[in-house]
Chains A and B, each alone.
Chain A
Amino acid sequence: MNGSAEAHVDYHDAVGVVTLTGEVDIVQAGQLRERLLGAIRNEDLGLVVDLTEASYIDSVGVSLLFELAEKLSERQLRLGVVLPDGGLVGRVLGIVNLAAVAEVHSSVDEALTSIRGA
């Protein structure tokens, strides 16, 4: 619990990959929201959010993902979320049923293949 979070954005052939590390919470949500929404490009096929290195996510962080899904859906873009096996972040996103608005994957490669293949 170091109380910080970072968002790193990378693009892989028409798919953006945002890697979130640290704590995706009420304290960090403001700065993360700008990075996440800013990563959307109209010409892309979709966006992947990699949460395997995120240690924590609260309801504000969850809402951020739902907002992102909505914004992408308005543009006919797809959202892929990469979760680690087990752990708090996976449990939280299971409870709120993130799978209803995003494709859940276990690796970035899997998510990229799925978005490109569709």
Chain B
Amino acid sequence: MKSRVTSDRLRDLQSITDAALAYLPLERLLDELLNRVVEILGADTSAILLLEDDDSTLVPRAAKGLEQEVERGIRIPVGRGFAGHIAATRRPVRILNVADADIYNPILREKGLASLLGVPLVVEGQAVGVLHVGTLTERAFDDEDVELLQRAGDRAALAISSRLTERERGLADALQRSLMPSLPELPAVSLAGRYLPAAAERLGGDWYDAFLLPDGRLGMAIGDVVGRGFHAAAIMGQLRSGLRAYALEAAAPGDVLERLSRLLRQIEPGRTATAVYLVLDPHGGGLSVASAGHPPPLVQPPGEEPGLLELPGSVPLGATRSVRYETQELDLEPGSVLVLYTDGFVERPGEPLDSRLNRLIATVRDGDEHLEHLGDTLVDVLLPEGPGGDDAALLMARAMPLGDTLVARFPAEVESIPGLRRLLGRWLDEAGATRRDIDDLTLAAAEAAANAIEHAYGLAPGVVELHATACDEDTVKVEISDFGSWRAPRGTHRGRGLLLMEGLTDDVEVVRTGEGTTVELTRRIGVEEAA
């Protein structure tokens, strides 16, 4: 029953692996390959097991005569039993009598297999899986059988590996894209981010994030999960979501990090990560920051030397059971640059950390005003040959001076009002307004915005536009526009809203057009306590 025409068999194997199968989807390729192996070797069963990403578990992917092996989802530790031994040693194994052998997978015995032959699937010296055949009657597989199966295994390994790599690459790119945030657009802050995967991996544990909080402030985070590959990236994704969720609920960055540390211990005990979370008031200039064992952010006030923030020492997330992270409150002048980074940017084997940090500082000092350009320069200077063994992330922010004319749009929601007040307050401050001018005008503008939000759009989503400009040296005009249908202020408190607008400004005009309504508030500013 066993043919001795070896060249015929080889031709069979070549046709299997090189031509016909090259265009099949992976699962069908494996099926077809197993059929052919059974036929050529005169075996009763065959199976392919592939190594998981963790490099320590074999999982059956296709089988002939042993279909339950795949269906049951059995997981075989590398080093254990027949297949586990082949993967661990990367050498073929012949078993004459299954009854006497060390077998991990019970299905092999349940099926009544007598003899087994297995070979490793090897790519670039690494085992990626195991191919084995079995017979119901006892059979001594000879060297020629081993060589044939190994050739089939080698060809299959290449096909599997190239398809896996292709699939993984696609997945990695998709995952990467979904994990890197789209940064919010704000009138008062510009933002830019960079992520560079490690040379050998497309995915890593570094992340950054920036998002608007309900009170109009900006949350910024950067972090580094220890480890690499899909698994680290998956943990990173959970931490990123966790941080956003906690940030919506807890005000202080230190509290947010404490909760995140507990979350990490829940997701995976023993895993650690470093992170910095800060909340920036883009309209008032305040900065609250907390760190969990992460390299300190760099700050450059306008016209001054950049420096690293001095934060109290702290342990990484997940490192200890109960932990407190201190929140530091700082001022950030308009025009300041803020740079958050991961250690992939500043740690390089063979180079002292200090000298790399100094290069970071010097690059920011001499860098371009435009953050996208600064990001490119930082990557060029610090990672001229790309990232090494570690991935690297960078998040930069600049608190912008607002300029002569302020234009900003907000969602037509009550929650937008505090942010609108802050932004207008900062612009008025830059325009030379007194504390009293700022208080009165921001309240009047908030009343106009509240009226637009409550009455212009009903339940449909809309926007409120804030426009502020100096009419002359000491008079400003603040306009609040909606693009909905006008309805006169109703109810007593809206009536009081109009009363307040009139009482707190010099002039109130309501302009209605086909497009919507604009409330114009005019007031002299810069006069110290005139009345």
Contact = CB atoms under 8 A, between A and B. Distances in A.
Interface string A17-33: 00000010111000000
A89 B450 CA distance: 18
Contacts of A3: 215-216, 418
B497 A91 contact: no
A68 interface: no
Interface in A69-118: 87-88, 91-92, 95-96
A102 B450 CA distance: 26
Interface in A26-78: 26-27, 56, 58-60, 62-63, 66
Interface string B423-467: 001000000000010011001001100100000000000000000
Interface of B: 215-216, 251, 284, 414-415, 417-418, 421-422, 425, 436, 439-440, 443, 446-447, 450, 492-494, 496-497, 499-500, 503-504
Could you tell me the dominant secondary structure of chain A's interface residues? mixed
Given A3-B418, A96-B500, A58 B446 contact: yes
A16 to B, nearest CB: 24
B500 A27 contact: no
Interface residues of A, number: 20
B496 A1 contact: no
**Which of A25, A27, A59, A92 counts the most chain B CB atoms within 10 A?**
A59
Contacts of A1: 284, 418, 421-422, 425
Main SS of chain B's interface residues?
A: helix
A27 B497 CA distance: 15
Contacts of A59: 447, 450, 493-494, 496-497, 499-500
Nearest to B502: A95
19 contacts: A1-B418, A1-B422, A3-B418, A4-B251, A23-B418, A25-B417, A26-B417, A27-B417, A58-B450, A59-B497, A60-B493, A62-B496, A66-B492, A88-B439, A88-B440, A91-B504, A92-B500, A95-B499, A95-B504
Contacts of B447: 58-59
A92 to B, nearest CB: 6
B503 A95 contact: yes
Contacts of A4: 251
Contacts of A25: 417-418, 446
A27 B504 CA distance: 21
B500 A95 contact: yes
B296 to A, nearest CB: 25
B446 A63 contact: no
A27 B415 contact: yes
B414 A26 contact: yes
B450 A60 contact: yes
Nearest to B492: A63
A114 to B, nearest CB: 26
The 7 A-B residue pairs with the shortest CB-CB distance in the complex, in nearest-first order:
A95-B503, A63-B493, A3-B215, A59-B497, A88-B439, A59-B496, A3-B418
Interface of A: 1, 3-4, 23, 25-27, 56, 58-60, 62-63, 66, 87-88, 91-92, 95-96
B425 A58 contact: no
B443 A56 contact: yes
A4 B252 CA distance: 13
B212 to A, nearest CB: 13
A27 B414 contact: yes
Contacts of A91: 440, 503-504
Nearest to B444: A58
Given A26-B450, A60-B493, A96 B499 contact: yes
Nearest to B450: A26
A27 B446 CA distance: 11
B437 to A, nearest CB: 11
A95 to B, nearest CB: 4
Contacts of A58: 443, 446-447, 450, 497, 500
Contacts of A63: 492-493, 496
Nearest to A89: B439
A58 B494 CA distance: 10
Contacts of A62: 493, 496, 500
Given A27-B417, A58-B446, A88-B439, 15 more contacts: A1-B418, A3-B216, A4-B251, A25-B446, A26-B446, A58-B447, A59-B447, A59-B494, A59-B496, A59-B499, A60-B450, A63-B492, A91-B440, A95-B499, A95-B503
A92 B496 CA distance: 10
A97 to B, nearest CB: 9
A91 B496 CA distance: 13
A96 B415 CA distance: 24
A62 B422 CA distance: 21
B443 to A, nearest CB: 6
Residue of B414, B439, B496 ringed by the most chain A CB atoms within 10 A:
B496
B22 to A, nearest CB: 62
Contacts of B493: 59-60, 62-63
B419 to A, nearest CB: 9
B488 to A, nearest CB: 15
Nearest to A63: B493
Nearest to B503: A95
A91 B497 CA distance: 14
